[in-house]
Chains A and B, each alone.
Chain A
Amino acid sequence: MVIDVNGLTYTYPSTTNPALKSITFQVQSGQLVAVIGPNGAGKSTLCLALAGLIPALFHGQMQGTVMVCDMDTQQHAPGQFAGQVGLVLQNPINQFSGMCYTVYEEVAFGLENLGVLRELMPKRIDQALQQVGLAELSGRSPYTLSSGQQQRLALASILSLEPSVLLLDEPTAMLDPQGSQDVFEIIQRLVRAGTTVVIAEHHLEWIAQYADRAIALVDGEMILDGAPRDVLSSPVLLQAGIGWLRYTQAAKRGQAYGLWPTNYPLPVTLEQAVTGFQQAGLISSEPETNDADPS
């Protein structure tokens, strides 16, 4: 197990309501796990806990254990996780060093701090910038980039470190659709190469398409954990304020008009939706064919 969370309850300092309540789950190496939930559900807190920053930097009250890469987050300093666990924060500005004049230097910053050999750095920096489509902007100041470009830079800074566990907190919130797809394709390649990825994400369509597993958090509690199709089409998501994809909504409401086969599971991808709606079309035309048949 790369990640082993056991009975994690965590309360931030000077608050009374725990941000995470009795969370237990394990993640195997090379899995892409999506964490979904409304704002305030505890997704970011979970990312911080998996990165080893909670409780070390945030203090507060923590019960239970979090093991990442065989290290107990309560026994090891955040720095010990730095080489192996990479966290991309929700707001890229919060992640920048604030000390680098160029995009290139910003990516180099993490490598320098990990003591990567100087001659190895250019290749890793170029590769990371290439992956996120920022190679041409390497000489720009991070602060003159658009928000979407800043988000790509934050991701590149972490990718260059080649962590074995990658934690992403809404990495596509400010990206254009193509940019989001690029990010998920990068993630998919990393996962295939054995990287373990945990991603907090609102865009359910990406999760349906790319994730191996989805975990739903509501008010600090884990309410669902399973295959994306099962989790994303669960009626529980509607009460939880997470909602459904348009495909799922259309199929569910279409059932009442015979537009979706009642024995079909609800769809969470375009392909699943197309198949089901076409199938219902065939079924509903069958009775007419039978009526016309003289035998």
Chain B
Amino acid sequence: MLIRVDDIHFAYPGGVKALDGISVTIQPGEKVALVGENGSGKTTLARHLNGLLRPQAGSVWIGEWQTTQNTTAKLARRVAYVFQNPDEQLFRQRVWDEVAFGPQNLGYSPEQVRIMVENALDLMGLSGLSHLNPRDLGYSGRKRVALASALAMQTPVLVFDEPTAGLDAKELEYLGLVIISLHQQGKTIVIISHDMDFLAESMDRFILLNNGIVSLDAPAQQFFKQKILLETSGLVAPQITRLSQSLRHSDLAMSVDQFLMIRRRER
């Protein structure tokens, strides 16, 4: 599913300009990190991908569907969006019902819904908790329910807004495995996050937003070579990349594995 964002502009009521001419094309199966300062427009851009927001100028295409010409309900077949704050997303009384909401509204049969929900719960390690009220789970538990709700819809495109915020090391590791699995299924994955260590290990392409425009769009290695731009944009490169830079490696490491390989080679 090709995503094409063509020169979009968007201002919130009251005049706060969030997007000021953004153009991005995302190929099917790409893993894209959307990074930038708080308030740079990341969430606003992400919400344009599933039609939660519509551009005031320019266009967004999900395959051959233009978001302004299609309902959000229809776009939900192609793009699932996971809210930054699970409490903005979750509203049902049981984990199972919450996760089933999407597939039910996409018109799947009860049997299909059951299979979709069970797969999603299983993937997010929630199978034993399906009877609980999402509100009785901790913050990261509710985040997992929010993720499961998106995965259950089996859309080709997944947009995760800050899935890493508030997760501990074990949960982050698990999220990394989920992303690998989704990538292997051919899904397009867009992630907003401030956790550069996590992103460098999981994502291939980095898009930097600055005051509503794209100021850098590059593969991970090239992206983190732009030290000055990243600094002025409030970004800090991943730990292992900074270590690699400080030791003057010719290639920048994105993970501990890569670092050890480069270090052994260049010693």
The residues of A with any CB-CB pair to B shorter than 8 Å are 37-40, 90-91, 93, 140, 144-149, 152, 170, 173-181, 202, 205, 241-243, 245-247, 249-250, 253-254, 257, 259, 270, 273-274, 277-278, 281, 284
A260 CB to closest chain B CB (Å) equals: 10
Closest to B169 in A: A243
Q: For the complex of A and B, list the 6 residue pairs with the smallest distance between their C-beta atoms, beginning with the closest.
A: A148-B38, A243-B169, A178-B234, A177-B236, A246-B239, A241-B170
B256, A246: Cβ atoms closer than 8 Å: yes
B243, A270: Cβ atoms closer than 8 Å: yes
27 of the cross-chain contacts (CB-CB < 8 Å) are A38-B171, A39-B168, A40-B138, A145-B39, A147-B85, A152-B38, A174-B162, A176-B36, A176-B234, A177-B234, A178-B37, A178-B235, A179-B37, A179-B38, A241-B168, A242-B169, A243-B169, A246-B197, A246-B239, A247-B239, A250-B243, A253-B260, A259-B264, A274-B243, A277-B243, A278-B247, A281-B267
Q: CA of A49 to CA of B85 in the docked complex: distance in angstroms?
A: 25
Q: Interface digits, B253-267 against A, CB 8 Å rule (1 contact, 0 not)?
A: 000100110011001
- Please tell me if B140 contacts chain A, counting CB pairs below 8 Å: yes
B16, A144: Cβ atoms closer than 8 Å: yes
Interface residues of B in 47-85 (CB under 8 A from A): 84-85
- Please tell me if B194 contacts chain A, counting CB pairs below 8 Å: yes
B84, A147: Cβ atoms closer than 8 Å: yes
Q: Which of B12, B170, B194, B259 contacts A38 (CB 8 A)?
A: B170
* A-B CB contacts (within 8 Å), total count: 124
A144 CB to closest chain B CB (Å) equals: 7
A135 CB to closest chain B CB (Å) equals: 14
Q: Interface digits, B12-40 against A, CB 8 Å rule (1 contact, 0 not)?
A: 10101000000000000000000011110
A91, A93, A250, A259: most-surrounded residue (chain B CB, <10 A) = A250
- Residues in A with CB closer than 8 Å to B119 are none
Tier of interface size on chain B: 35 or more
Interface residues of B in 114-131 (CB under 8 A from A): none
Closest to A280 in B: B267
Q: CA of A284 to CA of B266 in the docked complex: distance in angstroms?
A: 13
- Residues in A with CB closer than 8 Å to B14 are 144
- Residues in B with CB closer than 8 Å to A274 are 243, 246-247
B229 CB to closest chain A CB (Å) equals: 13
- Residues in B with CB closer than 8 Å to A205 are 239
Q: CA of A127 to CA of B246 in the docked complex: distance in angstroms?
A: 36
The residues of B with any CB-CB pair to A shorter than 8 Å are 12, 14, 16, 36-39, 43, 84-85, 87, 138-140, 162, 165-171, 173, 194, 196-197, 234-236, 238-240, 242-243, 246-247, 256, 259-260, 263-264, 267
Closest to A254 in B: B260
Q: CA of A247 to CA of B87 in the docked complex: distance in angstroms?
A: 35
Q: CA of A196 to CA of B232 in the docked complex: distance in angstroms?
A: 32
- Residues in A with CB closer than 8 Å to B197 are 246
B234, A259: Cβ atoms closer than 8 Å: no
A39-B243 contact, Cβ under 8 Å, with A147-B38, A149-B39: no
A175, B194: Cβ atoms closer than 8 Å: yes
- Residues in B with CB closer than 8 Å to A247 are 239-240, 243
- Residues in B with CB closer than 8 Å to A281 are 267
B168, A245: Cβ atoms closer than 8 Å: no
- Residues in A with CB closer than 8 Å to B173 are 243
Q: CA of A113 to CA of B132 in the docked complex: distance in angstroms?
A: 39
Q: CA of A149 to CA of B173 in the docked complex: distance in angstroms?
A: 27
Closest to B232 in A: A178
